Amino acid sequence: MSQDEATKTADRHILSRFDGDLGYFRGLVLEMGRRVQDQVVLASDALSACDVAKARKVIHDHRVIRDLDIDALTANARLFAIHQPVARDLRFVLTLSRAVYDLERIGDEAVRVADIAEGLYEYQPTLRDCVLFEDVRRLAGPAVQLLQRSLKSVADENVNLAVQVALDGRDIEEMFKGSIRRLATYLMEDPRNIRWVMDATLGIKAMERIGDHACSIARNLIYSVTGKDVRHVNVASLG
């Protein structure tokens, strides 16, 4: 084998190893995303139905998210230490590492909602009281959909889907405002509802933040593919 052929073979091996390590890292991020989605759905169900058992499951299962977070951070460090990616490869690795951060925050929000639901056990709310928490489930649906779509955009490196996610994130903000107005009417009807209204407000705020983190994942994917920081660019112009 000539020196040129040996060099080409070595380059192929390096590229193959990089692709393998990158694929492993991406797989960890997507698995973490699937787990976090389940946590959000379960936490919103727990608060909406005042179900303490579901709340405690969310809190217990959060350790799986932490383990995946540690594995992902290790895989990220390995990519930088061994392969030193540049250009678009570097941007995509950064996108994945930022997604890990956003997913960790989403997991924390799910636990926060579960903590609220668990705390209700002491007060034994009635079915009528639990109605005030329905908006948490109502916001959880679109928030989880945004997360699913943002993760799919990362899996497929689909910038058009990521742009649509970033644009659709505005809907969550409008739903949040509507929920706040609705909760205010419960408080005006009966000031004794103040505890339930406060807990419900914290729950829907957590869902709004989850939507924000999902949009953050999508915006970082846009940067990875286009090289444009969408904080300073009209997202709609990229579609």
pLDDT digits (tens, 9 = 90+) for 86-129: 888 899 999 999 999 999 999 999 999 999 999 987 777 777 77
Confidence label for 6 from pLDDT (cuts 50, 70 and 90): very low
Q: How far apart are CA 98 and CA 57, in angstroms?
A: 27
**Torsions phi, psi of 77, nearest 5?**
-60, -40
- The tally of CA atoms less than 13 A away on the side-chain side of residue 178 is 11
Average pLDDT over residues 66-79: 95
Q: How many CA atoms lie within 13 A of 217 on its CB side?
A: 34
Rounded to the nearest 10 degrees, how much is the dihedral formed by the CA atoms of 111, 112, 118, 120?
A: -160
Per-residue confidence band for 238, with pLDDT thresholds at 50, 70 and 90: low
Distance separating alpha carbons of residues 52 and 114, to the nearest angstrom? 8
**CATH number of the domain that residue 75 is part of:** 1.20.58.220
pTM, to two decimals: 0.89
* pLDDT value of position 201: 95
pLDDT of amino acid 123: 78
Query: In the chain, what percentage of residues exceed pLDDT 90?
Result: 68
Q: Shortest CA distance to 198 belongs to which of 88, 116, 83?
A: 116
| Domains held by the chain: number | 1
Residue 232 has pLDDT above 80, yes or no: no
Give pLDDT tens digits for 9-64: 434 544 678 888 999 999 999 999 999 999 999 999 999 988 999 999 999 999 99
Domain ranges, residue 12 = 3-238
